[in-house]
Structure 1
């Protein structure tokens, strides 16, 4: 959509990702399929449809490899501003819904009885993830964003003793991976997305020795 209508790709990715997140939330409530199965179905279907549409519209020209695997040179000043503004907003919203989100993870029924609205918090959280994907797509790439979301959390789970500690460690690992990966990308002229994920993978392997 962004390339077809000449709109900033971060905006269109956020819009489409939010729609997918809402569909995932609704389908998860109404079907017996697992969240992983539904996510794989929706995400890969959306990606395939998008690539088919772009391939059919021959007048559209874009860097496919940069879109799939990230290209730090494609990042503009507007993208950087969006990252800072949206990042701060996402942290603030997550702080507001944190107690409800954590309680719903432990036991949704108990959380609902305490008027914490865990379902609403889960939907908000999924939309926040959509926003994170949207603002990260130029740096990380479509295919590797999932890895950056999963690997820091997986490492934090190996070495943390509480949910708060897990969040803090995930943030540290994520920031370290991004900064180190971008430095490696600029130094060795490699794609930014894979460079970031390789650093994150190395940190995860180190955590296995803990």
Structure 2
């Protein structure tokens, strides 16, 4: 998703005010530092990270490859920390988590169908589902983070976007190393049905 697409996403996510009401005599909240891009980015990244974390949580009981299981564990740990920081930024923004993307399947988001397939699969087929879905997730996350860094205003959000973007580059490198170490076969015998 390019920055222009993120801007379009923002238009659909700006129903909530980013400047909460301040009681007379009270200090103005920091919510004024967050613009619509900041809050839209946070509200999108939270469900994306939650779905990816749900997928990585399946790896210990379903993966056949220790390297894939290790990558999933590291990614899951990173996602938990990202979620903690995203939720803290959202709280600081003053915008309630209305879950505007609940149930959506957007580019890069691990779909509910993918989670169902992964939960019903073991071994190399599971490993392929996980690595393909994580690659899509981190690639899209990096794109969204670039849009936030270009269009966002709050340092809490733009700084977090920079940190997540750096992390996604490391995750893509890990996925690339797995691909080199375990190239996919041209025909997946587990899914090909005899004529």
Larger RCO: Structure 1 or Structure 2 (Cα < 8 Å, ≥ 6 residues apart)? 2
TM over 0.5: no
| Higher fraction of helix | 1
TM-score after normalising by structure 1: 0.27
TM-score after normalising by structure 2:
0.28
